[in-house]
Chain A
Amino acid sequence: MNNIFVYCETEKGKIADVSLELLTKGRELAKRLNCKLEAIVIGHRLSGIEKELYGYGADIVHLADDARLEPYSTLPHTSIVTGLFREEKPQIALFGASSLGRDLAPRVSSALKSGLTADCTSLEIGDHRDTKGNEYKDLLLQIRPAFGGNIIATIINPDHRPQMATVREGVMRKEKLAEAKTGEVNVLDVNKYVRDEDFVISIIDRHLEERKIDIKSAPIIVSGGYGVGSRENFDLLFELASVLGGEVGASRAAVDAGYADHARQVGQTGVTVRPKLYIACGISGQVQHTAGMQESAMIISINNDSNAPINQIADYSIVGDLSTVIPKMIKYYRANSK
């Protein structure tokens, strides 16, 4: 009772990275709160999947295994999660801020009348005293940028349980336990939770695309913002990225302007990256963006504006035009690398 639950997404027996990241975070929170970490997996042909979840710290794994439960569909998954939460009364429930998690979590929160905070960038445990003087111990502090990334808000759910939050893929670290541990499985009786009406939406066809652009695992990212000016000007960034063996990223403003594809978007509404080198070209540095790249090992900014906020987190800021600077970088690298 009153443990931490993580909803784990699977696709053909493979657990989503975001779920493993949430388990890693969940076990840190569970340790702090001195409670257990529980995983819930809903799908088909799940036997054996618990072993990997134990490896990330799950103490109890709830399995709902039924041919009708894969691929994911909103209503049956909602019924199982809400039913289980009503019985188990978790204090915290975490979901990936993925297409799936952002479809499921609000539905669950509405059914349970508990609050949900979307796209958290940090989760902490802390106390709260409200204006009436009521004290709350050990609440989940859900921290997220708001208002297009111009403010950072700390959200709490003082009176409702579970305290629910979603987190985007890549925001939390994914780390296996150093030493293997085991746990227990709880096989759920699916028919106890789902209703026939839960299957009114039928999936006729499904095409999964392998992620073609993978900026998350690139060691070097050359990223462009609105200041790049056009889709054509991005070619220069592609050239530098290819010479250095990296990938091209973009800010939301650049993606919204049509200069780059959404798959390349770095930041709060894109992906979070931690490359060893991040070169920010024509990016002003709104939190919307920096939330997704500030943990890069080294940051170089190239910007005409010497007062651009990005310069405050950059290790090096080159004040100048990217059409001048980038060709010089390419030229020097070609001449001097092995």
Chain B
Amino acid sequence: MTKPLKIVVLAKQVPDTRNVGKDAMTAEGTVNRAALPAIFNPEDLHALELALRLKDSNPGTTVNLLTMGPGRAADIIREGLFRGADGGILLTDRKFAGADTLATSYALSCAVRKLNPDLIVAGRQAIDGDTAQVGPQVAEKLDLPQITYVEEVLSYGNGEITVLRRLEHGVETVRGKLPLLLTVNASAPSCRPRNAKYLMKYKHAKTVSELQTQNADYTEFHRLRSYLNIPEWGVSDIDGEEEQFGLKGSPTKVKKVENVVFQVKESKKLSDADADVESLMKELIANHTIG
């Protein structure tokens, strides 16, 4: 028999940078976040699935999400609940704002320490930054080993986990003793869809801030159903040094941001007519670009 696990999944709400429309940039060249749909970071969904599979095979295991962001990031917790997670915490405070990866990792690690899990699972990277730094940095701050680029859990038992890692040029099978942190690749199995039963159960799951903006009738409804309360943690709820949070705790600074401008070079426009295509090919052969 294996021991049930306490798993924390780190997840991020990100702007969907894969579908950037024309109105995504403001006239000043800054990002217009409001114009982009906010989604569950894709690789974090793979991380959630990996955690849920461990829950399926180890009865009694609990899966909790931890996300840091503004109030609307509570959507990430609800999405996780709809798919089978047991709960989640929204880490939200103005003092977290402006954090680079290091300050983000610091805040997350303080929250994880409070939750004291056996296993932390995160997506490899988020699509808005593509840095892949937060997973390893959280592990370092907690003084835990990390296993990155996990594709599959091959076995878990006796406090040890064996996983398959997908590297650029190959695969590795590695084993480690819990507690540790895994980051999960997009090549891992996709997340299961929302479950109708959980959707019904958790559709009214809300943070306190969300409840405050609602009809008072719901307060009593929520008081009787504690599983519908999504905890919000701020700086005062996690043990940490304030100077390590947010902008203050970020060693990297953005010096300059430029909207992307192409260097226009002399470009010849051609049509798809035979004559145009043939003259181009003739020129390419003549100047030995091809052939």
Residues of chain A whose beta carbon lies under 8 Å from any beta carbon of chain B? 71, 74-75, 78, 98-99, 102-103, 105-107, 109-111, 113-119, 128, 130, 141, 145-160, 200-211, 220, 244-245, 252-253, 256, 268-269, 276-277, 285-287, 290, 297-298, 300, 306, 309, 311-321, 324-325, 328-329, 332-333, 336-338
Interface of A is mostly: mixed
Q: Contact check, A148 vs B17: say whether CB atoms are below 8 A apart.
A: yes
CB contact under 8 A between A151 and B260, given known A158-B253, A317-B268: yes
- Size bracket, chain B contacts: 35 or more
Q: Contact check, B251 vs A268: say whether CB atoms are below 8 A apart.
A: no
Separation in Å of the B257 CB from the closest CB of chain A? Answer: 5
Sorted nearest first, the 8 A-B pairs with minimum C-beta distance are A320-B272, A148-B17, A115-B251, A115-B252, A106-B133, A110-B140, A118-B131, A160-B251
CB contact under 8 A between A151 and B31, given known A113-B251, A201-B145: yes
Closest to A246 in B: B290
Residues of chain A within 8 A of B115, CB atoms compared: none
Residue from A74, A145, A157, A336 within 8 A of B282 (CB atoms): A336
A-B contact pairs, 28 of them (CB 8 A): A99-B169, A103-B149, A106-B131, A115-B250, A130-B253, A147-B128, A149-B17, A150-B17, A150-B25, A153-B257, A154-B258, A201-B180, A204-B173, A206-B170, A206-B173, A207-B172, A209-B170, A210-B169, A253-B18, A297-B289, A313-B263, A316-B270, A317-B268, A318-B272, A329-B281, A332-B281, A333-B285, A336-B282
Residues of chain A within 8 A of B71, CB atoms compared: none
Give B235-286 interface residues, CB cut-off 8 Å to A. Answer: 250-260, 262-272, 274, 276-278, 280-282, 284-285
Q: Contact check, A106 vs B290: say whether CB atoms are below 8 A apart.
A: no
Binds A, one of B72-80, B99-107, B190-198: B99-107
Contact with A along B159-185 (1 / 0, CB 8 A): 000100001111111111100100000
Residues of chain B within 8 A of A297, CB atoms compared: 289
Residues of chain A within 8 A of B254, CB atoms compared: 153-155
Q: Contact check, B137 vs A119: say whether CB atoms are below 8 A apart.
A: no
Closest to B278 in A: A332
Question: How far apart sit A164 and B105, CA to CA, in the bound complex (Å)?
Answer: 17
Contact with A along B134-151 (1 / 0, CB 8 A): 111101110001111100
Give B106-148 interface residues, CB cut-off 8 Å to A. Answer: 127-137, 139-141, 145-148
Q: Contact check, B132 vs A205: say whether CB atoms are below 8 A apart.
A: no
Question: How far apart sit A312 and B173, CA to CA, in the bound complex (Å)?
Answer: 46
Q: Contact check, B176 vs A315: say whether CB atoms are below 8 A apart.
A: no
Residues of chain A within 8 A of B175, CB atoms compared: 201-202, 204
Residues of chain B whose beta carbon lies under 8 Å from any beta carbon of chain A? 15, 17-18, 20, 24-25, 29-31, 100-102, 105, 127-137, 139-141, 145-149, 162, 167-177, 180, 250-260, 262-272, 274, 276-278, 280-282, 284-285, 289-291
Residues of chain B within 8 A of A109, CB atoms compared: 102, 133, 137
Question: How far apart sit A298 and B281, CA to CA, in the bound complex (Å)?
Answer: 13
Residues of chain B within 8 A of A107, CB atoms compared: 136-137, 139-140, 146
Q: Contact check, A114 vs B251: say whether CB atoms are below 8 A apart.
A: yes
Extra contacts besides A106-B132, A115-B250, A312-B263 (15): CB < 8 Å: A71-B172, A74-B136, A106-B137, A106-B140, A107-B137, A107-B140, A119-B130, A151-B29, A159-B251, A201-B147, A256-B18, A315-B266, A318-B270, A319-B270, A329-B277
Question: How far apart sit A128 and B260, CA to CA, in the bound complex (Å)?
Answer: 22
Q: Contact check, B167 vs A317: say whether CB atoms are below 8 A apart.
A: no
Q: Contact check, A110 vs B252: say whether CB atoms are below 8 A apart.
A: no
Separation in Å of the A212 CB from the closest CB of chain B? Answer: 10
Residue from A119, A154, A319 within 8 A of B255 (CB atoms): A154
Residues of chain B within 8 A of A105, CB atoms compared: 133
Question: How far apart sit A256 and B15, CA to CA, in the bound complex (Å)?
Answer: 17
Residue from A78, A102, A151, A315 within 8 A of B132 (CB atoms): A102
Q: Contact check, A318 vs B276: say whether CB atoms are below 8 A apart.
A: yes
Which of B139, B251, B265 gathers the greatest number of chain A CB atoms within 10 Å?
A: B251
Residues of chain B within 8 A of A208, CB atoms compared: 169-170
Which of A151, A158, A200, A277 gathers the greatest number of chain B CB atoms within 10 Å?
A: A151
Residue from A106, A146, A306 within 8 A of B269 (CB atoms): A306
Residues of chain B within 8 A of A160, CB atoms compared: 251
Residue from B105, B133, B171 within 8 A of A118 (CB atoms): B133
Question: How far apart sit A109 and B291, CA to CA, in the bound complex (Å)?
Answer: 49
Question: How far apart sit A324 and B268, CA to CA, in the bound complex (Å)?
Answer: 19
Residues of chain B within 8 A of A149, CB atoms compared: 17, 260
Q: Contact check, A106 vs B260: say whether CB atoms are below 8 A apart.
A: no
Question: How far apart sit A333 and B284, CA to CA, in the bound complex (Å)?
Answer: 10
Q: Contact check, A151 vs B131: say whether CB atoms are below 8 A apart.
A: no
Question: How far apart sit A155 and B285, CA to CA, in the bound complex (Å)?
Answer: 44
Question: How far apart sit A114 and B137, CA to CA, in the bound complex (Å)?
Answer: 11
Closest to A244 in B: B290
Question: How far apart sit A277 and B284, CA to CA, in the bound complex (Å)?
Answer: 9
Closest to A198 in B: B145
Residue from B20, B176, B255 within 8 A of A150 (CB atoms): B20
Question: How far apart sit A309 and B172, CA to CA, in the bound complex (Å)?
Answer: 40
Separation in Å of the B29 CB from the closest CB of chain A? Answer: 7
Q: Contact check, A276 vs B253: say whether CB atoms are below 8 A apart.
A: no
Q: Contact check, A315 vs B18: say whether CB atoms are below 8 A apart.
A: no
CB contact under 8 A between A116 and B277, given known A98-B168, A333-B285: no
